[in-house]
Amino acid sequence: MEKIIIFDTTLRDGEQAAGGSLNIPEKVEIARQLEKLGVDIIEAGFPVTSPGDFEAVRLIAEEVRTPVICVLTHANLEAVDQSWEAVKGATHPCIHIVLSSSDIHLFYQLRKSREEILEMSCNTVARAKKYCENVEFSAMDASRTDPAYIYQILEAVIDAGATTVNIPDTVGYAMPDEFGNLIDNVFKNVPNIDKAIVSVHCHNDLGLAVANSLEAIKRGARQVEGTINGIGERAGNASLEEIVMAIKTRQDFYDLYTDIDTTQIYKTSRLVSELTGTPVQPNKAIVGANAFRHSSGLHVDGVIKMRTTFEIMDPQSVGVPSSSLVLGKTSGRHAFREHLSELGYSLSEENFNRAFAAFKELADKKRNVTDKDIESIVAEEQRTVSEVYHLDRLQVTCGDRGIPTASVKLVAPDGEVRSDAAIGTGPVDAVCKAIDKIVAVPCTLTEFTVKSITEGIDAIGEVLIRVESEGITYTGRGADTDIIVASAKAYINALNRLLSDTNAAA
């Protein structure tokens, strides 16, 4: 069997999703988890876009040693130079150059001729080749480009030193058979194609990103690019977990393999969802909450008798526990630690102690604590690691005849406890206004979402809040059995991200 190279662009294209910005520690944390997942290449960022992205790429290149660490750059000589400075500390560095190829992009966006684009492509690839052996070139909007021009560009950049040529369906326009034919014709019409790896990068505007990627693999592409949970620009990218599990589940059809540790998929999905603030829809393939749940009596009967009647994958193969072990207030530290391990979490002693204390507190409020409750606890404790302000105390009064009022105490960065109060149109509005009085950072709340982590009246509620400041969106999440407390935690989490970015820029 031949291997498919898995190129993860969660930290670059995935972060470009509206409201999906990550700070530097979060990017490093995701990169470390992607290394555990076993991806071959991590596209760590776009260093020329901001000092923060440059620093994130530099740290990932120094700390994550097994995968290839790739950086995206414009087809500009100075941008190539700067990108190399960010990635040069990597054990296996790669420079990825992207330049539009379709006439619609050339005429309306770049205002350049085909000849100018060809020259820019070759010059920047040659420049990158002076720095590292591994150079990728992407012909942006390839699916809407004159095929003859695509062949011409690919041949030229391979001659200039490109070791991987990427054929993107940048706007999700192609149909599977159409895209497959393009890949076929690349192999037939580019004389030196055997000197490079053929890669594909598909977007999901028509819901076909995974289908197009799999069709390209079937036609000979040997690298596939995508993101965890399919996040990214507009409707997102191809979901890597779906591609990987399609290859693994249907090896009889593809006769291919990847080096992905599929048992890490669920944990990686949860981490990316948590840190980007992008929830996973319940019916999402592989990692959705309903992916391995059965409701129909016919289905339940079949699964009880033989799992494979209605489950083509074992939940444990993607890291979803097959059983839902319930812990309670009598469960000790050892049982809690063992169950964390079963769920794929390995916490430092300090983080474990905080998580165990939170578990005991929750167990006093709930009769049974489920896996999803525990995952929420771990996520909540991880959110406190880089706090600027910490919620110390909250009291709210409200009702249909009263004026919603909130009193808040926060622990400030200097350790001082600061308090204030406010009234609002509702309890959450009052809480946010009271917090604003203490933190005093200008921003606008743009999104407020509430969902239940588990079933039941005593379920943990999770709140997602997005705030905007100077055109940048910051996401915060909080969880608690009290939804008002969860809202306060989420708002403070969003403000902490805003303040962390402000402090880093200063």
Looking at per-residue pLDDT, the higher value among 503 and 78 belongs to: 78
Report the percent of the chain where pLDDT is more than 90.
66
Topology agreement, domain 2-255 and domain 390-505: no
pLDDT of 394 higher than 90: yes
User: Which are the contacts of 115, defined by CB distance < 8 A and separation ≥ 6?
Assistant: none
The pLDDT tens digits for 238-274 are 999 999 999 999 999 999 999 999 999 999 998 999 8
Please enumerate, as own/partner, the contacts of 307-314 that have beta carbons within 8 Å and a separation of 24 or more. Answer: 312/249, 313/245, 313/249, 313/286
So what's the pLDDT on residue 224? 98
So what's the pLDDT on residue 471? 82
d(CA 362, CA 461): 12
So what's the pLDDT on residue 384? 56
So what's the pLDDT on residue 37? 98
Mean pLDDT over 382-400 rounds to 82
* Beta strands 444-452; 461-469: pairing state: antiparallel
Mean pLDDT over 75-85 rounds to 97
Please give the backbone phi and psi of residue 159, each rounded to the nearest 5 degrees, phi first: -60, -30
So what's the pLDDT on residue 304? 63
Mean pLDDT score across all residues of the chain: 90
So what's the pLDDT on residue 296? 61
- What is the DSSP track for 427-462? HHHHHHHHHHHHH----EEEEEEEEESSSSTTPPEE
Residue 421 pairs with which residues in a beta bridge?
Answer: 407
Lowest average pLDDT, out of 50-54, 59-63, 166-170, 301-305, goes to: 301-305
Q: 465: pLDDT confidence band, cut at 50, 70 and 90?
A: very high
Any idea where the domains of the chain sit in the sequence? 2-255, 323-383, 390-505
| Residue 45, SS3 per DSSP | strand
d(CA 124, CA 78): 9
pLDDT of 295 higher than 80: no
pLDDT of 324 higher than 60: no
So what's the pLDDT on residue 315? 85
- CATH number for the segment(s) 390-505: 3.30.160.270
Q: 203: pLDDT confidence band, cut at 50, 70 and 90?
A: very high
- What is 2-255's CATH superfamily? Aldolase class I (3.20.20.70)
Q: 300: pLDDT confidence band, cut at 50, 70 and 90?
A: low
d(CA 82, CA 392): 44
So what's the pLDDT on residue 359? 85
